[in-house]
Homo-oligomer: A and B are copies of this chain.
Amino acid sequence: MKKKKVSIYDIANRLEISSSTVSRALNDHARISEKTKLAVRRVAKELGFEKNHLASGLITNKSFTISIIVPAVNRNFFASAITGIEKVASENGYTVLICQSHDQYEREVKLIDTLIINRVDGIIASLAINTEEFDHFRKAKNAGIPVVFFDRVCHEIEDTFKIVVNDFNGAYLATRHLAEQGFKRIAHIGGYQSQNIFRERLAGYKKGLSEFNLPFDEGLVRYCALNTDDGTKLTEELLQLKPRPDAIFCANNLTAISALAYAMDHNIKVPEALGIVGFSEETVSSLLKPAITSIRQPSEQMGKLAAQKLLEEIDAESSDNMDYTEIELRTELIVRASSKLE
């Protein structure tokens, strides 16, 4: 059921002026008299007029909507990136369409189609964990929709901005920290190597080990989708190895939290018998006992930057002169009880 809509014609009729004048008045056009503008605005309010975005979008070819695709909104990193994006977007009059891929490639592909159909003005995305093909993003680009990647980016599509952190360095900092604390058998719960950032984190981990002359042992490494179930299962696997690892560097924080829970359930003292470091923070990271050491990412800042770059590209007349850069932000090691021995 839909009520009758009031259009600019209704306002025009009421004031006995033309619809174009109404349109211009509502858009605060320069050469419309203040008097007319005021009258129009008054009547608009009186009649409860709401501009139809579909109609104006049809002609201006703009929807003033940008869309975010993330694996899941209930992870702290993504939630705060979204908050950053929302801030920049709403300051500039854009509506934000938030979509979840639920870490499924197929869903991501479908979402892109929906977004093209809806004529969003731009897309900000962090890839699903099993996304290894990028034709859908190419398609969006071909449809004239700018794309900005953040966090889990795609290097195969070069004509896009990319906002990342130095994952390699973050992982290196984490591993080095564990080594400095005296841990010798440092395991790693990593993300599927399909995503670049998880390859980087693995590489950083390796560098951290080698710097302390610790051997890299493939048997101490596991790859997964980084959810809590994976974390629990793989922690169990790792802790049943003989000899047992004495520390775990987790590629995200959900797995670090489950590793901690598993250890406590099995009376393995953290950090004495098992040091734990995570990557990226959850709200509860600092509330857990022991609190979890982790690599902090400037997530909201990343979101803001992504949005700024996207709007820049949307506003650009032609994409020919775009200077597509990859922007790398810094991570920070936050040392807490889960890894501090002395």
A65-B118, A114-B95, A257-B284 as given contacts; A144 in contact with B5, CB under 8 Å: yes
* Contact partners of A319 in chain B: CB under 8 A: 1
A264 within 8 A of B: yes
Within the complex, which residue of B146, B254, B264, B287 is in contact with A261, where a contact is CB–CB below 8 Å?
B287
With contacts A54-B63, A143-B50 taken as known, whether A264 is within 8 angstroms of B289 at the C-beta atoms is yes
Q: Could you jot down 28 A-B contacts, CB within 8 Å?
A: A1-B144, A1-B146, A1-B316, A2-B61, A2-B144, A48-B139, A48-B142, A50-B116, A52-B117, A54-B118, A55-B58, A65-B118, A72-B79, A73-B82, A74-B76, A74-B79, A74-B80, A82-B100, A90-B110, A95-B97, A95-B118, A98-B98, A98-B99, A228-B283, A228-B287, A257-B287, A261-B288, A284-B288
Contact B287 A289 (CB under 8 A): no
- Contact between chains at B51 and A117 (CB < 8 Å): yes
With A79-B74, A118-B53 in contact, do A142 and B2 touch (Cβ < 8 Å)? no
Number of A interface residues at 8 Å Cβ cutoff, please give it. Answer: 67
A318 interface residue, CB < 8 Å from B?
Answer: yes
Separation in Å of the A29 CB from the closest CB of chain B?
A: 19
Q: In the bound complex, what is the Cα–Cα distance between A327 and B3 (angstroms)?
A: 26
A199 at interface (Cβ–Cβ under 8 A)? no
Q: Is A340 an interface residue (CB 8 A)?
A: no
Closest to A2 in B: B144
In whole Å, how far is A202's beta carbon from the nearest beta carbon of chain B? 25
Cα distance A75–B72 in the bound complex, in angstroms:
12
- Which residues of chain B come closer than 8 Å to A318, judged between CB atoms? 1
Interface string of A65-98 (1 = CB under 8 A from B): 1000000111110111011001000100001111
Shortest Cβ gap from A79 to chain B (Å): 3
Interface residues in A95-126 by Cβ distance below 8 A to B read: 95-100, 102, 110, 113-114, 116-119
Q: Which of these, B3, B53, B228, B254, contacts A143 with CB under 8 Å?
A: B3
A73–B117 Cα distance when bound, in Å, is: 25
> Is A57 part of the binding interface, using a Cβ–Cβ cutoff of 8 Å?
yes
A16 within 8 A of B: no
Alpha-carbon distance A227/B288, docked complex (angstroms): 16
Residue in B closest to A94 when the chains form the complex, CB atoms: B114
Q: A257-B284, A264-B289, A288-B288 are in contact. Are A119 and B54 (CB under 8 A)?
A: yes
10 closest residue pairs by CB, A with B = A74-B79, A3-B144, A261-B287, A98-B98, A73-B73, A2-B144, A264-B289, A1-B319, A1-B318, A54-B57
CA distance A54 to B100 in the complex (A): 23
Q: Is the CB of B283 within 8 A of A74?
A: yes
Interfacial chain B residues near A288, Cβ < 8 Å: 261, 284, 288
Q: Are B58 and A52 in contact, CB atoms less than 8 angstroms apart? A: yes
Cβ-based interface call for A294 (8 A): no
Identify which of residues 131-147 in chain A touch chain B, using a CB-to-CB cut-off of 8 Å. 139, 142-144, 146
Chain B residues positioned under 8 Å from A113 (CB to CB): 50
